[in-house]
Structure 1
Amino acid sequence: MTLFHFIGIKGSGMSSLAQILHDSAHKVQGSDVEKYFFTEDALHERNIPIYPFDENNIKEGMTVIAGNAFPDSHPEIEKAHELGLEVVRYHDFLGDYMQKFVSIAVTGSHGKTSTTGLLAHVISGHAPTSYLIGDGTGKGLEDAEYFTFEACEYKRHFLAYNPDYAIMTNIDFDHPDYFKNLDDVLDAFGDMALRVKKAIIACGDDNHLQEIQASVPVVYYGFDESNDFAAKNIVKNSEGCTFDVYVRSELYYTFTIPLTGDHAILNALGVIALCHYEGIPASVIQERLSTFHGVKRRFTVMESKGRVIIDDYAHHPTEIKATLQSAKQKYPNKEIVAIFQPHTFTRTAALLDEFAHSLETSDHIYLCDIFSSAREKTGEISINELLEKLPGAKHLELENIVELEQHGNAVYLFMGAGDVQKYLNAFKEIVSEETA
């Protein structure tokens, strides 16, 4: 039996793929830094060995899967080459692996993880489904018919895939450390569209997706009634949303989801359209929609003595707006305290005005220092530039976390793709000590 060794096994996609291969009866191990990441929890649950980086981890007979973040000069990769082992990059391995199934890629600038999680949950109610979600969740079934996975546009990695279907949620300018401008992003998605084999399910309310050229049918979904799948007669409350779906102007079914915000309705519409295309009964779709409660780090709610503490991955202005809208729908009578940690200097600099505008609807704003990712060592911008654009916003440092307490029984919305959770955990400790 082949032993798969993952270099960078704690990466969100890598962790998910390791889980899939383990569940599918393969032998799996990996290496990474010793710092804790939430993506490793599922690996420990499966007793998948995780070692510190060391070239001596690499042994004869292994197949090595390397995370995209690691250069060819990484000691483990160099050792693998010395031993003449096969070294496969994560996205290349995934591109080959999915050919065994009806494969569905979920891509877009925002909403990939939530939509992939929802799609996997719904399709699993119809047929055996393996899935790879970008929150570090993966599941492999030996008898799987479907494979649903998150396809990331960063560095055009999704061009390694030739899926049967693609759900495209939106196109926006992000990853300014790689993409030159919006046209560069559009070019990447245009290339991805040409790799899809059966059909593209795209959000028709997104003007950029209206321009997508493909050699397969493009089915549009959205709020506008010109879409092939349109949501109408929407009713929202603190528990979720109910809406009628019209398929090419004919009433198809009334769906209810236990999720808040317009983006949640759009994500569900994309899943509904894909399932309709695959002939999955509406009753099955509804039953599964009603039992979905989200993915990790996407509006994860904890409540303590009247305080609502929310952990969310939002790190782009579009995502911040969507997260704030969800919070206001779910908690209409509470103040919203936004605690935001920008992720990467390049993104903060490129979207400074947009970040300021997206946060303005909060009742109170706290900004943490910019999180520097491994992609960049330093930046010429600091959190002060964003603070200057938001009068009344405060700079939050870990040692001053107690400042948040003044807002009492509010909604505390911690947002960011870096390590904003250290602020969240420090605040939770204060609250638990106070209420102990």
Structure 2
Amino acid sequence: MVDKNILNGKKHIHMIGIGGSGMYPLAQILHSQGYLLTGSDNNETETLDAVRKMGIKVFMGQAAENIEGADLIVYSAAIMADNPELVAAKASGADVIERSDLLGIVTGWYDNAICISGTHGKTTASSMTTQILMEEGVDLSCVIGGKLKAIGGSGRAGQSDVMVCESCEFVDTFLKLSPDIAVILNVDADHLDYFGTLENIIKSFRKFASMASKCLVVNGDDENTLTAVDGLDKRIVTFGFGEDNDYSARITAKKGLRTDFELYVKGEKQGDYSIFVPGEHNVLNALASIAAVREVGVSYDGIRKGLAEFRGAMRRFEKIDEIDGITIVDDYAHHPNELAATLMAAKGLDFERVIAVFQPFTYSRTEILMEDFVTALSIADVCVLTDIFGSREKNTHGIYTEMLGDKIDGCVYFKTPHEIVDQQTAEQKDKNFAQVIDYLFENAKEGDLIMTLGCGDAYKIAKRLAKKLRQARGE
């Protein structure tokens, strides 16, 4: 257990991997509190430019001498144990803390920490909630898992007592937080390589819910969520399409990316609202955001304006380009339920065909949820698969793309020798992506919606395809 007072008396904090999406918001908050910060990273990014504009010294590349003078060193989970700065930090006698532990401490600084959890939708709901609070004029702090244009990145440091924190269940990270208002969007079987069973996931969400100091905001339509909070001695606020929820919605119109709905509060119609991100699942995200911000006193006018201004977080149904009637969109969906919701939303739009380009992520998830992936990806008119992105895993499962592809009618994939796939080299991935891009370039037609899907780097396919289509036009 990390000492909650570890920051007491600290002046100089060094952050290894300061340009990461999870580290940058913490750097903003710590900087606003007057700490002297330094950091290091291996790649130049727009985020590092933003860090430097705050007056924070950034070292390119990681070396033992970079931590000199620091009395606290923070590192992200992506930093390997043999990283020279981390090795030097542990030998220095200074305190060393992992990013998620620090985030847990920081959430305890706020009297109204809105911690948004769920197997799916966390980034969108966190971004929606942030957008609403911004439109209301609340000077909030936030840490979200994607980039939001309204705040120019993945985080913000404010002076109010309100914080929005995306709260991830993977390896029980969210159990380190200090939620005042704990939001649970949904609970599904995911990260089974860690949790093992759905029952263990539900238990973990129950622990998270039990930590809320003020109230729980939960999906009253979701059976697993209700099981997780059943019997807890907490004030519970429910949202969903069911009329018995505290906050419910009735969809009145859908056109393009816009969905109109009536909001009901305890059964009474409150007003008419619109969102500009597609799909019924995003109406649920909106309801969760509405319920959460009402707990900190946001007006319904502020909610209406915030939802109308929200155009999605990056990598959440993000439009990349439109060329000759071919629309290219990228989305982070990587679990079968997310894929199904996203593809159903896409099918409800005005396109001739929906082409799903999916990068399976991890061998264990692909194996365990194989049949669910088949069902979800079959919603698309055409499914194109890349090789599996192993990420943190070795392929001890003997799972390959063709095992999924052969179960989906008309699925397109490019078979790579197994011994080459297992090496997971950048050169092989680039070759596989090039095969997919060539297929899409040759077969896409006016009226198509091409969606790259996955939590790895499938977005590169979308951007490279758009570039190739524009080059073909002489642009």
- Normalised TM-score (structure 2): 0.86
Whichever residue aligns with residue 124 of structure 1, its letter is M
* Contact 1:60–1:85 under 8 Å retained in 2: no
Residue 304 (structure 1) aligned with residue 304 (structure 2)? no
Residue 388 (structure 1) aligned with residue 398 (structure 2)? no
Residue of structure 2 in register with 1:43 after alignment = 48
C-alpha separation between the residues in 1 aligned to 2:124 and 2:39?
Answer: 26
Residue 424 (structure 1) aligned with residue 440 (structure 2)? no
Alignment of 1:37-436 (within 5 A): 40-47=45-52, 49-70=58-79, 74-101=83-110, 102-126=112-136, 127-135=138-146, 137-211=153-227, 212-213=229-230, 214-301=232-319, 302-329=321-348, 331-376=349-394, 379-396=397-414, 397-400=432-435, 401-405=437-441, 406-409=443-446, 410-436=448-474
What percentage of residue pairs aligned between the two structures are identical?
Answer: 31
The SS at the match of 1:178 is helix
Whichever residue aligns with residue 370 of structure 2, its letter is L
The SS at the match of 2:253 is strand
Whichever residue aligns with residue 114 of structure 1, its letter is T
Post-superposition offset of 1:43: 2.7
Post-superposition offset of 1:142: 4.6
Deviations 1:127-161 (A, max 9, x none): 11111110153333352331101011011011111
* Contact 1:165–1:200 under 8 Å retained in 2: yes
* Contact 2:260–2:272 under 8 Å retained in 1: yes
Deviates more, 1:147-156 or 1:213-222: 213-222
C-alpha separation between the residues in 1 aligned to 2:140 and 2:351?
Answer: 40
* Contact 1:221–1:273 under 8 Å retained in 2: yes
C-alpha separation between the residues in 1 aligned to 2:383 and 2:221?
Answer: 30
Deviations 1:6-34 (A, max 9, x none): 22334432233234434555443433444
Residue of structure 2 in register with 1:13 after alignment = 22
C-alpha separation between the residues in 1 aligned to 2:25 and 2:395?
Answer: 27
Deviations 1:31-70 (A, max 9, x none): 3444x7xxx4223233252522322322123421121244
C-alpha separation between the residues in 2 aligned to 1:142 and 1:248?
Answer: 32
C-alpha separation between the residues in 2 aligned to 1:336 and 1:294?
Answer: 20
Post-superposition offset of 1:376: 4.2
Deviations 1:238-270 (A, max 9, x none): 141111111111112221111210111000000
The SS at the match of 2:108 is helix
* Contact 1:24–1:141 under 8 Å retained in 2: no
C-alpha separation between the residues in 1 aligned to 2:301 and 2:24?
Answer: 33
* Contact 1:22–1:140 under 8 Å retained in 2: no
Structure 2: give runs of 5+ residues left out of the alignment: 1-9, 148-152, 415-431
C-alpha separation between the residues in 2 aligned to 1:385 and 1:33?
Answer: 36
* Contact 1:19–1:138 under 8 Å retained in 2: no
Post-superposition offset of 1:324: 1.0
Whichever residue aligns with residue 151 of structure 1, its letter is S
Post-superposition offset of 1:349: 0.7
The SS at the match of 2:126 is helix
Distance 1:154 1:277, change over 3 A: same
The SS at the match of 1:125 is helix
The SS at the match of 1:196 is coil
Deviates more, 1:56-65 or 1:97-106: 56-65
Whichever residue aligns with residue 438 of structure 2, its letter is V
Name the count of aligned residue pairs. Answer: 431
* Contact 2:114–2:292 under 8 Å retained in 1: no
C-alpha separation between the residues in 1 aligned to 2:452 and 2:249?
Answer: 30
Q: CA RMSD in A?
A: 2.0
C-alpha separation between the residues in 2 aligned to 1:141 and 1:179?
Answer: 33
* Contact 1:66–1:89 under 8 Å retained in 2: yes
C-alpha separation between the residues in 2 aligned to 1:260 and 1:384?
Answer: 31
Whichever residue aligns with residue 408 of structure 1, its letter is K
